[in-house]
Every structure is written in structure tokens, then in C-alpha cells.
């Protein structure tokens, strides 16, 4: 398995994607037609839109899929390529450096608008993961109170910044005039910026807050309005060529990933131990028993963004489904944020034809395995 290659982000990435679109889909790393035949062993490269520094999708889908044998069951050999963000992950897919990526829907939409022949084939994060947080004693009580305040974002090119601007606009503020965005990263760096008064509020994703709260820090969260409900985040994307040539392989990968996600939802601690096995760097030199409690909480926070918000694992179904209404809301958000300039034809963007096969597995068996896992 490979876990080290990084694909960097630059200001020219979208221009690069446009150039790539003129070359078709790029060569896939496993384009042999024999690898798409039912039952044949296939190699698949997956671009993850971040480094493996905290437990999230690379643990809940990839590490569990590997360690629990779900990839083996589907006769898949899956390798990971780490990238610097969703735009870079889509670039890796477009160039043929990777076959598939769970990237932010906005990056997929932006690439499609640029003419890059990428298709979304299955959802992953279904519940809006971004939140605004302040110190418990902060004078900021409502979204409107952000006027004149400094907002800490992961980076100015991140989904965090896009969310912060959209949040201000939704509150009736002028994002360009009424708030100031400052890059603060995540973890201790972000917490320090808030506690030292460098920023008044943070705009991070749920799992990032949980990781900080594991250290004893406390936040008070501002409400997201209904405008953010239904907007999709991480979504599996491939090129049109890969979709055409490897439907069976991709179906098998999605099925293994959704089984792994269900396993993770039932037993986050067992999933986290799988994460340590596959990505030892997550331990940062410590013992698994010393870390697994807090790390399992962080992983569970991410999992809750990727599974239905109500009901238990026994009721989870329709893995990967994205409704037309959700796509339209996602397109509208991406357009309002400036990532795209016009509506994207959903018929050209979204292909849910693999999801029936991806959902064809015994959920009860996955749940039982997870319940008995150590």
C-alpha cells in the first residue's frame, strides 16, 4: 500500500484542470479491461483530499475496508494518494494519477464547469459538517453579531473560508466588508488564535472541534440556518472514462467503502484501531491504548456527518444517494460562494447508476461483525 505521495495545490490548479479536459480523461492507473470484469482482481488508486493527520474518511472507509477484509472480499487492491485539498484530489483523478476521490462537491462542480469530464457517482458526507464556534463567554450570540469580527478559517483557499463567507451573507452581512478572515489552521493552532483574541470566532468542521475538545477546551456554537441543510460535502468522483471502463470495479469499491462506513458507525473504537494498523502515523509515537479513547470520539464525530442523522445503524440504507433537491441546493451554494459562475447540468455531473450494486450487501452481517470486533 502507498500512503505518501502528495499532490500540491497552487493558484493554477483550475487552469491545469481546464488543460486536462482537452486531453480527454487521462490514462487511468488500472485501465486494463480485464480488471473491470466481474470477479477479476483490480487495483484502484484513491486520492484523499488531505494528509492523514486526524481520523476521518481515510479511516472510516479505507483503513476499515482494508483491515476488515472488505476490499479483499471485493477482490480489490486499493492504494491511497494523499493530496493538499479537494481541488488537488480532483486534479489527481483528472490527470490519471488516481482513479477515484471523495472530494468536496464544490471542487467537483468547479472542475465540471471548467470542462473537466468528471462525474459524481456516490455521496459520502451527507450532513453539513461546518460550524461556527466562539469562546463560552463571547459576546457573540447570533450570526448578525459577526459584523466587524475576525473569523478564523483553516486557510483562505479552504472550504472553511467559503463557509464563513456564506454564513455571513446568510446572516444579512456583507462578507467582503463586515468580516475579516484570518487563516489559523486546525488543532492547537486554531484554539490558540481564539483564546489569544487573534480571532473572535472559528469556522471549522465538526470533527476538528471534537479533536480540540478532547484536550479539555470548550466552545459555544452558533446555529446554522436551514439554508445549509441538504448541502453536500465529500462526494465520490471519477472521470467519465473511468466510469465507462470500470463500472464493476467502482461498484465493488463503493460497496466495500459503504460496508466499512457502516462498520465504523457501529464500532468507532474498533475502526480506530484499524486506522492505527493501516496508518501508524496516527499514533504519533504513542501507544494505541493511550490514544484510542479520544481518537474514537474524533472519528465518531466525522462518522456522524456521513450517516443518517436519525435512527440506528440497523435502519441505515440508500448509501451514497443524493437527491435532485440536494444537488440543486449544493449547486446554489457553490455558485453563491463564487466557486462556479453558472448552474451545472446535473445530467452531466451526477451518475447514480452504480448505487444499486453498491448497496447490495448484508447489513446485518456487517453490524454483527462490528459489534463483536475488538
CB 71 within 8 A of CB 78: yes
Q: Which CATH number fits domain 6-127+232-372: 3.30.70.20, 3.30.420.40, 3.40.190.10, 2.60.40.10?
A: 3.40.190.10
Instruction: Report the pLDDT value the prediction gives residue 54, as an integer from 0 to 100.
Output: 77
| Residue 205, H or E segment | strand 201-205
- Look at residue 100 and tell me whether its pLDDT is greater than 70: yes
Contacts of 217 (CB under 8 A, 6+ apart): 191
- Look at residue 10 and tell me whether its pLDDT is greater than 60: no
CB 149 within 8 A of CB 140: yes
- Provide the grid cell at 12: 493554477
Q: Please indicate whether residue 317 or residue 19 has the higher confidence score (pLDDT).
A: 317
> What is the pTM (predicted TM-score) of this model?
0.85
Instruction: Report the pLDDT value the prediction gives residue 39, as an integer from 0 to 100.
Output: 56
- Look at residue 109 and tell me whether its pLDDT is greater than 60: yes
| Domain 6-127+232-372 matches domain 130-227 at the CATH topology level | yes
Q: Is 130-227 CATH 3.40.190.10?
A: yes
Q: What CA–CA distance (Å, rounded) separates 76 from 116? A: 27
Instruction: Report the pLDDT value the prediction gives residue 1, as an integer from 0 to 100.
Output: 46
Q: What CA–CA distance (Å, rounded) separates 7 from 14? A: 14
pLDDT over 70, % of the chain: 89
Range of 3-17, 151-165, 267-281 with top mean pLDDT? 267-281
Instruction: Report the pLDDT value the prediction gives residue 52, as an integer from 0 to 100.
Output: 65
- Angle, CA of 137, 175 and 201, to the nearest 5°: 20
Region 151-155: mean pLDDT is: 94
- Look at residue 336 and tell me whether its pLDDT is greater than 90: no
Instruction: Report the pLDDT value the prediction gives residue 130, as an integer from 0 to 100.
Output: 95
- For the chain, the domains span 6-127+232-372, 130-227
- Look at residue 340 and tell me whether its pLDDT is greater than 50: yes
The tens digit of pLDDT for each residue in 194-238 reads 999 999 999 999 999 999 999 999 999 999 999 999 999 999 999
Helices (H) and strands (E) in the chain, counts: 18, 11
- Look at residue 15 and tell me whether its pLDDT is greater than 80: no
Amino acid at each position: 500500500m502507498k500512503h505518501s505521495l502528495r499532490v500540491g495545490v497552487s493558484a493554477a490548479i483550475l487552469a491545469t484542470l481546464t488543460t486536462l479536459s482537452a486531453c480527454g480523461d487521462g490514462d487511468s492507473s488500472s485501465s486494463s479491461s480485464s480488471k473491470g470484469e466481474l470477479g477479476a482482481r483490480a487495483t484502484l488508486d484513491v486520492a484523499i483530499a488531505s494528509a492523514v493527520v486526524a481520523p476521518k474518511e481515510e479511516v472510516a472507509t479505507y483503513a476499515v475496508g482494508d483491515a476488515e477484509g472488505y476490499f479483499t472480499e471485493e477482490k480489490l487492491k486499493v492504494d491511497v494518494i494523499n493530496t493538499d485539498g479537494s481541488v488537488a484530489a480532483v486534479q489527481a483523478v483528472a490527470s490519471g494519477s488516481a482513479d477515484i476521490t471523495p472530494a468536496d462537491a464544490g471542487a467537483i462542480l468547479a472542475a465540471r464547469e471548467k470542462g473537466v469530464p468528471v462525474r459524481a457517482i456516490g455521496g459520502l458526507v451527507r450532513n453539513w459538517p461546518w460550524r461556527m464556534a466562539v469562546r463560552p463567554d463571547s459576546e457573540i450570540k447570533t450570526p448578525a453579531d459577526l459584523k466587524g469580527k475576525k473569523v478564523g478559517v483553516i486557510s483562505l483557499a479552504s472550504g472553511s473560508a467559503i463557509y464563513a463567507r456564506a454564513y455571513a451573507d446568510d446572516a444579512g452581512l456583507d462578507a467582503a466588508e463586515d468580516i475579516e478572515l484570518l487563516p489559523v489552521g486546525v488543532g492547537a493552532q486554531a484554539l490558540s488564535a481564539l483564546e489569544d483574541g487573534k480571532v473572535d470566532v472559528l469556522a471549522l468542521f465538526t470533527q476538528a472541534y471534537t479533536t480540540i475538545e478532547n484536550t479539555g477546551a470548550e466552545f459555544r456554537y452558533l446555529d446554522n440556518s436551514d439554508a445549509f441543510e441538504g448541502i453536500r460535502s465529500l462526494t465520490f468522483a471519477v472521470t467519465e472514462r473511468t466510469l465507462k471502463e470500470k463500472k464493476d470495479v467502482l461498484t465493488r469499491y463503493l460497496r466495500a467503502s459503504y460496508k466499512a462506513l457502516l462498520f465504523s458507525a457501529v464500532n468507532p473504537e474498533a475502526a480506530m484501531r484499524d486506522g492505527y494498523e493501516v496508518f501508524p502515523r496516527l499514533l504519533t509515537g504513542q501507544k494505541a491504548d493511550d490514544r484510542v479513547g479520544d481518537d474514537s470520539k474524533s472519528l465518531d464525530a466525522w462518522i456522524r456527518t456521513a450517516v443518517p442523522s436519525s435512527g440506528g445503524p440497523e435502519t441505515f440504507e440508500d448509501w451514497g444517494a443524493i437527491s435532485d433537491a440536494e444537488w440543486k441546493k449544493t449547486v446554489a451554494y457553490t455558485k453563491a460562494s463564487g466557486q462556479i459562475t453558472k448552474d451545472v447540468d446535473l445530467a452531466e455531473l451526477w451518475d447514480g447508476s452504480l448505487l444499486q450494486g453498491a448497496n447490495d450487501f448484508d447489513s446485518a452481517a456487517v453490524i454483527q461483525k462490528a459489534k463483536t470486533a475488538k
